[in-house]
Amino acid sequence: MKWYGWILGLLLPVFVAGQRYAAIDTITDHQQALQQLRAALSQNKKDPELFYSIANRQLLLSAYDSCIYYCNEGISLLSRNPDNRLLIKILHTKGNAQYYLDDKHKAEANWREALRLALTEDKERAAKLAGNLGAIYLDESYADRKQFNNYPVADSFFRIAYQTLQSIDSLSSKHGVQVMRLMATSFHFQKRYDSADLYYNNVIRLSRADNAYTCIGALSFYAEMLSEQGQHEKALAQAQEAVRMAMAEKMHSKDMTHIMHVYGNVLHGAGRHEEAYAFIDSSYQLLAKDYQKMNNQAYSESESKFKNQLLQYQVELEKQKRNRLYLIVGAIILLSALVLVWLQNRNNKRIALEKARQKQISIDAFIEGEEKEKMRIGRELHDGIAQEVVGIKLAMQQQQADPKLIEELTRVSLEIRTISHELMPQTLKMYGLKLAIEDSCQKILGPSGIHYEISSNLPEERLPGKIEITLYRIFQELIHNIIKHSQATEVLVQLRKMSNHILLVVEDNGRGLTEEKTQGIGISNLQSRVQLVEGNLQYDSVENEGTTAIVRVPV
């Protein structure tokens, strides 16, 4: 066993908890304490003392990375609200975690910073930090015997620790004894035997009564040093006392093996080779038993672990089977739901299509019936009333009636014919919407003296009949309204085929529409007619500047 196993006690962290969490600090179960500390942290994430307490518990659980994380969080908070005493403790704890992670350079950096602050703020902790730093350099010197430069550095830190403890009258404390043991070991390795002898004896004297572990370590090191000097009898006495104390204390077999091995080496140095061999052999047998015990324990743990893993595997397998069953059932339910939704949507679409079809049939029937009625009335006007008016006109001419009456009858006859032609749009039926609109402009707007202009990009192919007749009737109503109400002198008509609709724009320069007229029966009728073909009608009118009617019908 390496010598520095005996000084690990010095490097163990000193857990001084904050007063505000004293109740939690009394909890011996670290996991339970961590739960309460984390609960407190969830309520207050700005208390560096909480982070320090959690870091200490993580260190006790050997969770070194987590310890460093919480230390860093505490240091970050202290950078905004300085508290040197708490910062010293956090840096000390962080250095301990880094030391156990074998990152000694970072540990040294944090301990040096903590020591700088502790020399004026906390002398007891300064002594601990100085001892830790000295132990690092002593450890490196022992690992590489050529690193002679490390001994002076180690001794300088030990002197700081020694003088600090002396200033607060704590040299006889447990920590004071540990520092003196480190100093003795350093002098021992440097072969400064007189100084080492003094400190070894002080340590043995001060620790014999109440610190057996430290005393045994000092006795074993002291025995080795005396053997090196040839003081074999005195070395044997120290080694024997170490063995007696170790047996009385019932030390761990690993530590007991070290003591027995030291005693065997001392016996060998004294020339008592058979006894040395017996002790060293006993130490190896004890070590072998220890390893056997460890192997048996490891085997037992492995077997138990294997059984647990097998049980966990079986449980996991059953869980996976159950989960698969749940997934299958869930998938079936989801698929059934999707099928029902699909069927419902399909049925709704079918119903919607049927409703749309019935609506379209009704609209087509309405438009067709309306047009048939208009054609019937147009024929009656053309073939009946118009002919009768012509007959009356001829009779009056034969009887040489008043020329003014004959002229009025001529006008009435022409108007009846015009109305009958509007009710029976033969041009629309034979040539399409564009020519029908041009014909209406010529026959209706022309005689009124209104100048008109027509712009169209309709293709050669005909539009659906209901769209043509609807747009034609709307156009007729619009130009009649212009003649009757607008007092316009110019009319611009645009007929456009867009990507998915037909656009009819009728613009005049008349006096515009009042709000009352836009809500009148005429415009309401036009809106209803446009809606029959799912189109829309918009008006843009400015008083005394004209009106623009825009009709859009989808195709």
**Residues 227-260 pLDDT 10s:** 999 999 999 999 889 889 988 887 777 778 788 8
Looking from the CA of 331 toward its CB, the CA atoms found within 13 Å total 6
How far is Cα 555 from Cα 384, in angstroms, rounded to an integer?
39
Instruction: Specify whether the backbone of 12 is left (phi greater than 0), alpha (psi in -120 to 50) or beta.
Output: beta
Please check whether residue 71 is in contact with residue 94, taking contact to mean a CB–CB distance below 8 angstroms. Answer: yes
Q: Model confidence at 13, in pLDDT bands (50, 70, 90)? A: very low
How far is Cα 170 from Cα 163, in angstroms, rounded to an integer?
10
Inform me whether the pLDDT recorded for 1 exceeds 50: no
Q: Which residue has the higher pLDDT, 476 or 369?
A: 476
Reported as a single tens digit per residue, the pLDDT across 372-389 is 666 566 555 555 565 666
Mean pLDDT, residues 429-440: 83
DSSP H or E segment with residue 549: strand 546-554
Of the ranges 31-35, 131-135, 521-525, which one carries the lowest mean pLDDT score? 521-525
Q: Tabulate helix, strand, coil % of the chain (nearest 5).
A: 75, 5, 15
Reported as a single tens digit per residue, the pLDDT across 138-151 is 888 777 666 678 88
* Burial classification of residue 457, based on how many CB atoms lie within 10 Å of its CB (0-12 exposed, 13-18 middle, 19 or more buried): exposed
Domains of the chain: 1-121 (1.25.40.10), 428-554 (3.30.565.10)
Residue 149 confidence (pLDDT): 80
Most trustworthy range by pLDDT among 11-15, 91-95, 435-439, 518-522: 91-95
Residue 24 confidence (pLDDT): 79
Residue 249 confidence (pLDDT): 83
Q: Which residue has the higher pLDDT, 219 or 476?
A: 219
Q: Model confidence at 3, in pLDDT bands (50, 70, 90)? A: very low
Residue 160 confidence (pLDDT): 93
Coil/strand/helix, residue 303: helix
Residue 486 confidence (pLDDT): 83
Q: Which residue has the higher pLDDT, 179 or 415?
A: 179
| Phi and psi angles of residue 536, each rounded to the nearest 5 degrees, phi first | -145, 155
The pTM score is 0.49
Residue 466 confidence (pLDDT): 80
Q: For residue 11, give the nearest of 169, 161, 142 by alpha carbon.
A: 161
Residue type at position 499:
S
How far is Cα 40 from Cα 22, in angstroms, rounded to an integer?
13
Q: Which residue has the higher pLDDT, 407 or 544?
A: 544
Reported as a single tens digit per residue, the pLDDT across 317-345 is 888 888 888 889 888 998 888 888 888 88
Residue 420 confidence (pLDDT): 58
